[in-house]
Amino acid sequence: MEKTIFEKIQDFLVSLKMEECLTLIKKGIKEKIPAYEMIMKGIYEAMKQIGEKFEKREYFLAELMFASKITNEAIELLKPHLNTALETSGKILIGTVSGDMHDIGKNIVGTLLKTSGIEVYDIGVDVPIEVWIEKIKEIKPNIVGLSGLMAASVSSMRNTIQAIEKNQLRDKVKIVIGGGTVSQTVADQIGADAYAYDAMEGLKIIRKLLD
Ligand code: B12
């Protein structure tokens, strides 16, 4: 059986064939394959496989960095083709916590939320606690989304939430966490309101919190 376009995107991305991967995505766009599906069934699945290769020491940092370059370029190509809701329904401040530079997952979540009508303020990676506080005061988001992929990010998340409490901002925002090393248990332990396993679940949870 011939492989689906999503499987082909996965194959090109996992084998780090940048030009082939981006050309296929452009073809998918032309053929009106839903952009969101190309992200979730193609890119997201490929990044999981790349993560496994890193764990098995088949891939090293150079390969990971190149894969993230391809991923970010692919998402830029797909962004304009994600359906966008017309009305905005709330604001989220999203970023990767202090000490952590991983941003592919956060970027996917941000893109998906944007297309569903949520105003997204992405403050980047390795965000210091003071910046979270300053931005919460300035933007007054309904939701704060903390992303973190490393074991050390759990304590960064906890410290960020404690600072939000200390600054008397905790009752003004709902806090959602996501990323490889976190879970519902972690969310309960560090005082977040919710945990999301992936972008789609994040969207559902955030929509519920905004109701
Ligand atoms: C790509 C990658 C990198 C790239 C990152 C590029 C980039 N621009 O992001 C590079 C090469 C730079 C990198 C660097 C490092 N990495 Co790295 N990296 C990865 C890898 C392979 C994939 C991560 C990824 O992008 N996944 C794909 C995305 C789509 O998935 P995701 O992030 O989980 O996001 C989804 C959900 O979690 C959720 N989500 C995520 N955030 C949020 C937020 C909210 C609010 C919500 C609702 C949902 C949500 O939705 C997303 C979409 O569905 C992982 C392995 C893995 N299995 O995860 C290691 C991994 C995270 N890295 C790891 C390590 C150790 C490092 C380095 C320290 C390596 C080194 N020795 O230098 C450095 C860290 C630098 C730093 N200070 O951050 C470890 C962490 C181990 C640990 N438990 O602490 C991992 C787990 C690999 C491993 N098994 O050892 N890495």
193: three-class secondary structure by DSSP: coil
Residue 13, pLDDT score: 97
- pTM, to two decimals: 0.89
Q: Could you give the dihedral angle defined by the CA atoms of residues 128, 55, 16 and 75, in that order, rounded to the nearest 10 degrees?
A: -40
Cα 87 to ligand 1 centroid, rounded to whole Å: 32
Minimal-distance CA residue to ligand 1 atom 3: 64
What's the CA-to-centroid distance between 131 and ligand 1, angstroms? 22
List of the chain residues with pLDDT < 50:
none
Q: Does domain 91-210 have CATH number 3.30.565.10?
A: no
pLDDT for res 108: 86
What is the pLDDT, as a whole number, of residue 146? 98
pLDDT at 1: 80
Question: Looking at residue 87, what is its pLDDT?
Answer: 64
Q: What is the CATH topology of the domain spanning 5-81?
A: 1.10.1240
Give the whole-angstrom CA distance, residue 144 versus residue 131. Answer: 13
Same fold yes or no, 5-81 and 91-210:
no
* Domain ranges (residues) in the chain: 5-81, 91-210
Q: Is residue 168 within 8 Å of residue 126, measured between CB atoms?
A: no
If you measure from the C-alpha of residue 149 to the centroid of ligand 1, how many angstroms do you get, rounded to a whole number? Answer: 5
